[in-house]
Amino acid sequence: MTRVLRGRTRSGELPFVTKPSASGKKDRWDCSGPAPSNCPACGQGKHWVDKCPDMRTRAKYFKLRNAMKELQGTSSSQASAFVATKEASKDLDMSFFSSPTFVSFGAPNVFLLDSASTCHVVNNASFFNSPLAPTLHILQGLGGTVKASGVGSVKLVSDIGTKFTLNDVIYAPESPANLVSVQAFDRKGVRITFERGQAELRTQQGRIATASAITSRVYKLNV
């Protein structure tokens, strides 16, 4: 390809023009012509992500990527967020995990609050306090799928000493992070309030746990 740097130099000379690559290969930033692989956002078809026709998925993809930049201080070229669905489901209106689940956080005991997922997801079998039941769930998302290996319950102790149990937790060894579903908490009567980088989880009996922001978009459950 040929790239032109806009504007003139201080000496008034014409802008520098790069010569086409001798190999004929495209520059990594060249978005002309067809994309070389499937869209990393929707995973459907070879088109550039900024031209993805699924605007909702495209917006979520960029939100996830920006969140990762805040969390890691760098960009990730292999973004892959996941959603929990039933394998036989035909519902196309998927709700993507809002947390950046496409990274290995290097801390297996970290649980991230997720406001979009419909179920809890854990990647470490040692967290489960009873034998796992079989499940047909899969984690499907931006350009990839991960099969669940079972479903069970996980007991946790919060930073304030409260013991509580996460039920119907999906065990997915390949999930890059442990995810706690805000929606699942809501169905159980747990209310979560957010203020100034902190969150409180409450039931009718009172506060059961807190969470802290690790980026402007991602909260870590304090357990």
Largest CA distance in the chain: 74
The CATH architecture one would assign to domain 78-221 is: Beta Barrel (2.40)
Residues above pLDDT 70, as percent of the chain: 60
Residues 6+ apart with CB under 8 A from 68: 75, 76, 79, 100, 102, 103
The pLDDT of residue 135? 81
The pLDDT of residue 198? 92
What backbone torsions phi and psi does residue 16 show, to the nearest 5 degrees? -70, 135
The pLDDT of residue 33? 72
Give per-residue pLDDT as tens, 72-102.
543 333 333 444 433 333 332 233 344 444 4
| pTM for this prediction | 0.57
The pLDDT of residue 145? 67
Which residues does the chain have with pLDDT short of 70? Answer: 1-32, 64-107, 139-145, 216
Give per-residue pLDDT as tens, 151-170.
999 999 999 999 999 999 99
The pLDDT of residue 176? 75
The pLDDT of residue 81? 40
Q: How far is CA 155 from the centre of its chain?
A: 24
What backbone torsions phi and psi does residue 168 show, to the nearest 5 degrees? 55, 45
